[in-house]
Structure 1
Amino acid sequence: MKIKETLISFMKEPAYTPMTIEELVIVFDIKYDEYGAFKKTLKSMEREELIVRNNKNKYMIPEKRALITGKLQAHAKGFGFLIPEVEGEKDVFIPSSCMNGAINGDKIQVQITREDTTTKKREGEVVKVLERNTAKVIGIYQDSKNFGFVVSEDTRITQDIFISKKDRNEAKDGDVVMVEITKWPEQKRSPEGIVTEVLGRKGDKGIDILTIIRKYGLPEEFTHKVLKFADQIPETIDEKEYKRRTDLRNIKMVTIDGEDAKDLDDAVSIEKLEDGNFKLGVHIADVTHYVTENNPLDKEALKRATSVYLIDRVIPMLPRQLSNGICSLNPQVDRLALSCFMIIDHKGKVIDHEILESVIKTNERMTYTDVTKILRDHDEELIKRYDYLYEDFKLMEELCSILRNKRTKRGAIDFEIEESKIILDEMGKPIDIKPYDREIANRVIEEFMLVCNETVAEHMFWTKLPFVYRIHENPDEEKLAKFKEFIYNLGYTIQWREEVRPRTLQEVLEKVKGQKEETVVSTLLLRSMMQARYAPECTGHFGLAAEYYCHFTSPIRRYPDLQIHRIIKEHLNGELDEGRSKKLISIVDYAAKQSSERERVAQEAEREVDDLKKAEYMQDRIGEEFDGIISSVTSFGIFVELPNTIEGLVHITDLDDDYYIFDEAHLCLIGERTKKTYKLGAEVKVKCVKVDIDNREVYFNITEDIKNEEEVNESNNNKEEDSQVKEDLE
């Protein structure tokens, strides 16, 4: 009995990790002639359910067998993380030896094997794969004498897929193929599969982006059923809709979008009232009139949840018959809309509002470029052409400034981080990459959509009806602590409250504005933030410093907008009884989860396409020199960002003038002998020396510091530790 109590007490220790019988024998110094009795004791304890074993025959008490369910986020190096289903729960690190056949994206159960109560970091082991992420994998077929295998294009799938000769489907060595997995990996055994499709040869036109589309399982085509249903939708408005809706066709309104946009889902109108207040109208295409609940279009839209933008192509959420046709707010044609009118005072406060179903007719299809030329450049030709709208544009600019100032005062965080525009030729080859312009016209629409989203969210919150909100939780505490330390070392003194507020973080951005470390500090702060997501609960949007927020303004390309339009319309028409409200709870919950998940997939695919084209662009520029800024410092080297947003690595082994030591606290590399320091934000000249297209990586060598070298040397001699940082945006 005593041995049982001792074993249980030992296994209850916080530092205990599951052990095999052999390991327990060593710990308790069990002699050879005592082994049989010890083994019987363990079996007896198992029968009594005092202890249990995991799938590696390691013993523990049942309390430590708590299983956590979630999705596996694998890494190219073999390890992974469990992303728990329960919001707010910490991720679990899974070593490569504990993956047990799980593949990236699988729904898994993980048993915690080690937990640090101080840092809350957890380690675990996959005990069960509940649901496979996908049965199809895209990769490169490699042939051998008696069999073949496919190397996945997704580096997070580290195991090659075995293909028998009879299952290669005429694939040749080097072909890009689609494989269906027929046998999943077990322990050290590779997965097996059959080639279902040969997509082409690596280097063929469009095969690179097609590979990424297939890799992320993005839907390429709509089914015949969906397209047939879309074709049956009339291109004219039913007469009864004119009678029951508010007719706004006599109100001046315009759409303002990019030159290439075809799915125009938002229009704006403005007037100044006699009391000096503004009346802002935001008019959104009423897509739900055509995409009704559970019809084929709705089911497909929920499955996709978002449109995906991949430089030279769009994978739309809805068929183009709708998105570019009857649902697009094209000029001088009648369209159905959901309109939100807001009365806004001179301080930017919405003092009254009205949401209604409407019929509209936009006057013009304006572009960001033309409106910017009118407002910023005072282009006489364009002002004359749109003379009847000129005063409206000036009012829009005035109200935009008021709304922006109000948001800034309440502490909304405005990240001035440049995005890039990648220009391809007819063959899909990148010919230019430049920062994306965010001019006054862009800001006007941005502010108008933000205030509309807030107004609608607050309105619906007080109805207490099920709804899909856009929420953004408080920053990650650990990352925020590092950020605080970093800016303190930069010399910025901020009065931090116990509970961090957006206003405090915005003050940091205001203090660094115009300084050379502005981009670096902005990006590190962004890295400290949680990712925004959709949720049925309204918990506020930290980054916008908004108590209420939702996505209302883009139902053509985002499912949450589509879903809440339905709820709003049912509410306006008095159709939401208790039974319908109860049914909406589960509908809203699933729509929020599905939309958040598909948004992440779309972001990953869009980012990978951008990284691919940036790498291709630099491949033709190997040997060329560029001016850049140190955007990130790690233990293995420094990242340098060029003005066109391309980022490349200078590996630490290429800093060969000294032995460099990584100072993690200050995020810099310091030469052991020379004390030379590579700091975030420092300007350098680099040469492109290598490009790895497959892994989307660019490599630089530093040729010289561009300027402030005397200051840098003085800083090094004085051992000043003022460093700057910028990490990956996402």
Structure 2
Amino acid sequence: MTHLGALMFPDKEKIEEFLLREAPSPVTSRELMAHFNVDEGVAGEFISLLDDLTQEGRIVEIKGGRYAHPSRVGLVAGRLTMHRDGFGFVVSASIDTPDIFIGHREIGSAMHSDFVVARVERHGKKPSGRIIRILKRGASRIMGRLRMRKKYALVVPIDERYYRNIYVHRDDLGGAADGQIVQVEITSYPIEDDVPEGIVIHVLGNPGDEDTEAGAIALKHDVHIDFPGEVQQAAKRIPKKVKKSDIDSREDLRELPFVTIDGESAKDFDDAVQIDLTDDGSFILRVAIADVSHYVKPGSKIDIEAYARGTSTYFPDRVFPMLPEALSNNLCSLVPREDRLAMVAEMEFSRGGRRKAERFFPASIRSIHRLTYNEVARVLDDPDSEEADSLRDVAPALFNMWELARVIRARRKERGSIDFDLPEAEIVLDLQGQPEDIVRSERNRAHFLIEEFMIAANEAVAEFLEDKRIPAPFRVHEEPDDLKIQGFRNFIHNFGYYLGSVGKVKPADLQELASRTEGKPEERVISQMMLRSMKKAHYYPENLGHFGLASTHYLHFTSPIRRYPDLLVHRILKKAVGKGRMTKKFKEKLHSELEEQCFHLSSRERVSESAEREAVSWKKCQFMRDKVGEEFWGFVTGVATFGFFVELEQYFVDGLVHVSSLKDDFYHFSEEAQALIGERNRLTYRIGDKVRITVERVDVERRQIDFKLITEEKEVDLAKVPKKSNRLKKKGRRRG
């Protein structure tokens, strides 16, 4: 129940559940109040609760002021996803509700990404309907190209899913010129077939310019580019050096040989590590994390902007940081030979990697080396190397660290933690920011070392707070949905693999499968499909465990320079280990605040990831645009009704082979086999196949690369091809 002073309200979930399963028909607010014994004196507050549920699309209000669950009155609430050709789909948050097709004439005044209610008018496997209500507009700011007219201007959205141009009065151009890329804020949304109206709020520059394109991608995804003036002024007031009084007020660990281990181009150093051995052979590991919370106080100008950003966003050629550079690259960064403030997780491990004890405290440190992953890996690989000799003051500690990381990793794998050690694309840029190569970003032993230490620290802090029943932004990863796992089972069956368990899948089952596919040609595609079958990790004010890590307690503590949830954890942890006492009232208030914060920060993480993906696609298209007509080998990584995607073997670049380019047969998409299958020749193209293609077209603006199959002769394993009579799904029929 929800508390309001001394009064009790039903939770939103209880109201939703009642309307879904118990209410015999749509009910009025009075009937709901009677059912839940809500006092007349708080009728207004209860109506506000119903309004919230309605705005969230979890219940609907129909004629006569009656309330119902959408599914019981033929309605679906969800996000409208448009296609550039003018039709769209309403995507419900419920996995049990299929997407609802919305034809062009049934869109009304809705726009891409709006939260809407649709009435389902045709049921079945491909339900369709029409939009009857807009609950919440999805976008108030849109990126586009300015087109001048005699008396007005139009902004043509870059994202073609916003298929309506935006009208701008000549007085509202903000100094923009014809053809420039701008961001427009919508001031008036369309009514039926009208165009939306807006004002230019940001002029990025001319198309093709690197800063313009990067800025356009960032703003399109709502990533903040520049810090507001008041934040910049606050950053200027930050001291350049750590104050002596701050050092004196905490444990002094400056004599301990901490080191940072990061990438070659890293500028912000969140974490430093140090290790000791005890007389009985146990390890004492200290993970020191930059004490951002000492400088960024709740409610300050810098804090408000950091929360709005939620995270730093990394493009191949630039970073949009969460914190101003005075903090991220200077005072908070654990640079070598400088006094720095840190929060330390001190953990004792047995020789077998079992955590025996832990302690958390504020400290001052002074790291002695800024090491890179490659440097450390070379030392670990060859103790007699020149590299090891040049780092002889820390080399013994590095070997002890590796020994501890190795046994911790073994224990983690033993409990079923899933490792997706897939190589990623590293885009190599020239001095002008243009991509000159795309190479595999391989991980070495130093990466694994730091990864294990960070996971260990995160788990230790999470367990500590959970034991004290203190709410925190836990990093939760729930069990996958049965339907998605069943689809994954069907998919791996095509490769001759099976999941060991029957019924609910366990992390150990997936880890065992990952081990069996290691080094095989199908390893990458099976790992990718495994990832797609699982839920996305997110932040939540209660500990629900982490499925992928097979961890009972997990949160993010180790990167407060670039992730706001980590900053929240530091504040909470400081209070938990401080002299003050956390009252029950404080914990309840904290939990209430965290509910909204976790939702916001999970959303900001997704925003950042989507922007980063597009930025990588942009650079990949730039790299491939002079390779049109060239031939490459690649692997099929995805199949759909309209064709299949191929990732090049030489580069981490993928493109589409459209089904219309397959001239030799009619091809149908088999959902069961995840394949395109020829109607006559039974030729099949499925995930994992190796094919040779030519680059046919590169559209940098749309971030699209089209391939064409060079040869259509390939061996067919008929045992793995579904029979034509009853297995083929009759969709995606194409012939050139």
Question: TM-score, structure 2 length as denominator?
Answer: 0.84
Cα pair distance change 1:472/1:155, threshold 3 Å = farther
Structure 1 residue 501: Cα displacement: 0.8
Structure 1 residue 158: Cα displacement: 2.3
Counterpart residue number, 2:479? 474
Q: Deviations over 1:437-470 (max 9, x none)?
A: 2111111111110111011100110111121100
Counterpart residue number, 2:88? 79
Do the aligned partners of 1:102 and 1:126 also contact (CA within 8 Å) in 2? no
Do the aligned partners of 2:79 and 2:116 also contact (CA within 8 Å) in 1? no
Cα pair distance change 1:268/1:183, threshold 3 Å = same
Counterpart residue number, 1:659? 666
CA distance in structure 2 between the aligned counterparts of 1:241 and 1:651, rounded to whole angstroms: 63
Counterpart residue number, 1:602? 608
Moved more, 519-528 or 649-658: 649-658
- Superposition map of 1:240-639 within 5 A: 240-378=245-383, 380-578=385-583, 579-639=585-645
Q: Is the counterpart of residue 101 in structure 1 residue 106 in structure 2?
A: no
- Superposition map of 1:631-650 within 5 A: 631-643=637-649, 644-650=651-657
Q: Deviations over 1:233-263 (max 9, x none)?
A: 2233333333331111121110000111111
Cα pair distance change 1:369/1:123, threshold 3 Å = farther
Do the aligned partners of 1:254 and 1:363 also contact (CA within 8 Å) in 2? yes
SS class of match (1:490): coil
Structure ID, larger Rg:
1
Do the aligned partners of 2:142 and 2:157 also contact (CA within 8 Å) in 1? yes
State, as a whole percentage, how many aligned pairs show the same letter.
Answer: 37
Structure 1 residue 566: Cα displacement: 0.6
SS class of match (1:72): strand
**Aligned AA (1:572):** V
Structure 1 residue 704: Cα displacement: 3.8
CA distance in structure 2 between the aligned counterparts of 1:206 and 1:232, rounded to whole angstroms: 28
Q: Deviations over 1:36-94 (max 9, x none)?
A: xxxxxxxxxxxxxxxxxx9999999863668999873523344244565xx98968646
- Superposition map of 1:21-100 within 5 A: 63=68, 72=79, 74-77=81-84, 78-82=87-91, 84=93, 93=100, 95-96=102-103, 98-100=106-108
Do the aligned partners of 2:60 and 2:69 also contact (CA within 8 Å) in 1? no
Counterpart residue number, 2:46? none
Structure 1 residue 368: Cα displacement: 0.8
**Aligned AA (1:584):** L
Q: How many residues align?
A: 664
SS class of match (1:479): helix
SS class of match (1:194): strand
Structure 1 residue 134: Cα displacement: 4.2
Counterpart residue number, 2:50? none
Moved more, 343-352 or 382-391: 343-352
Cα pair distance change 1:210/1:699, threshold 3 Å = same
Do the aligned partners of 1:94 and 1:125 also contact (CA within 8 Å) in 2? no
Q: Is the counterpart of residue 691 in structure 1 residue 661 in structure 2?
A: no
Cα pair distance change 1:475/1:190, threshold 3 Å = same
**Aligned AA (2:365):** I
Q: Deviations over 1:397-452 (max 9, x none)?
A: 21221111111111111113221111222333211111112111111111110111
Moved more, 375-384 or 90-99: 90-99
Do the aligned partners of 2:290 and 2:342 also contact (CA within 8 Å) in 1? yes
Counterpart residue number, 2:726? none
Counterpart residue number, 1:49? none
Q: Deviations over 1:597-635 (max 9, x none)?
A: 110100000000101111111111001111211111222
**Aligned AA (1:189):** D
Do the aligned partners of 1:65 and 1:111 also contact (CA within 8 Å) in 2? no
CA distance in structure 2 between the aligned counterparts of 1:614 and 1:401, rounded to whole angstroms: 36
CA distance in structure 2 between the aligned counterparts of 1:309 and 1:286, rounded to whole angstroms: 22
**Aligned AA (2:508):** R
**Aligned AA (1:263):** D
Counterpart residue number, 2:10? none
CA distance in structure 1 between the aligned counterparts of 2:438 and 2:326, rounded to whole angstroms: 32
Do the aligned partners of 1:206 and 1:428 also contact (CA within 8 Å) in 2? no
Moved more, 634-643 or 132-141: 132-141
Structure 1 residue 167: Cα displacement: 4.8
CA distance in structure 2 between the aligned counterparts of 1:596 and 1:156, rounded to whole angstroms: 24
Counterpart residue number, 2:241? 236
Structure 1 residue 296: Cα displacement: 1.5
Question: TM-score, structure 1 length as denominator?
Answer: 0.84
Do the aligned partners of 1:288 and 1:566 also contact (CA within 8 Å) in 2? yes
CA distance in structure 2 between the aligned counterparts of 1:719 and 1:309, rounded to whole angstroms: 42
Do the aligned partners of 1:151 and 1:160 also contact (CA within 8 Å) in 2? yes
CA distance in structure 1 between the aligned counterparts of 2:721 and 2:76, rounded to whole angstroms: 48
CA distance in structure 1 between the aligned counterparts of 2:209 and 2:543, rounded to whole angstroms: 48
CA distance in structure 2 between the aligned counterparts of 1:91 and 1:252, rounded to whole angstroms: 57
Q: Deviations over 1:303-333 (max 9, x none)?
A: 1110111111111111110111111101111
Do the aligned partners of 1:82 and 1:110 also contact (CA within 8 Å) in 2? no
Q: Deviations over 1:475-521 (max 9, x none)?
A: 13222111111112322233323221111111111121121111111
SS class of match (1:203): coil
SS class of match (1:206): helix
Structure 1 residue 166: Cα displacement: 5.5
CA distance in structure 2 between the aligned counterparts of 1:435 and 1:193, rounded to whole angstroms: 44
Counterpart residue number, 1:700? 707
Q: Deviations over 1:653-704 (max 9, x none)?
A: 2121232232221112222332222232121221101112222111111224
Do the aligned partners of 1:140 and 1:176 also contact (CA within 8 Å) in 2? yes
Q: Deviations over 1:335-371 (max 9, x none)?
A: 1111111111233221111111111111101011111
Cα pair distance change 1:583/1:124, threshold 3 Å = farther
Q: Which of 664, 672, 675 does residue 679 from structure 2 map onto?
A: 672
Two-structure CA RMSD over aligned residues (Å)? 3.3
**Aligned AA (1:650):** V
Cα pair distance change 1:65/1:549, threshold 3 Å = closer
Moved more, 248-257 or 578-587: 578-587
CA distance in structure 2 between the aligned counterparts of 1:567 and 1:671, rounded to whole angstroms: 60
SS class of match (2:393): helix
Cα pair distance change 1:126/1:229, threshold 3 Å = farther
CA distance in structure 1 between the aligned counterparts of 2:359 and 2:323, rounded to whole angstroms: 28
Moved more, 695-704 or 226-235: 226-235
CA distance in structure 1 between the aligned counterparts of 2:460 and 2:98, rounded to whole angstroms: 35
Structure 1 residue 127: Cα displacement: 1.4
Do the aligned partners of 1:373 and 1:379 also contact (CA within 8 Å) in 2? no
CA distance in structure 1 between the aligned counterparts of 2:424 and 2:122, rounded to whole angstroms: 39
Do the aligned partners of 1:255 and 1:268 also contact (CA within 8 Å) in 2? yes
Cα pair distance change 1:277/1:112, threshold 3 Å = farther
**Aligned AA (1:136):** R
Structure 1 residue 394: Cα displacement: 1.0
Structure 1 residue 302: Cα displacement: 0.9
- Superposition map of 1:182-197 within 5 A: 182-197=187-202
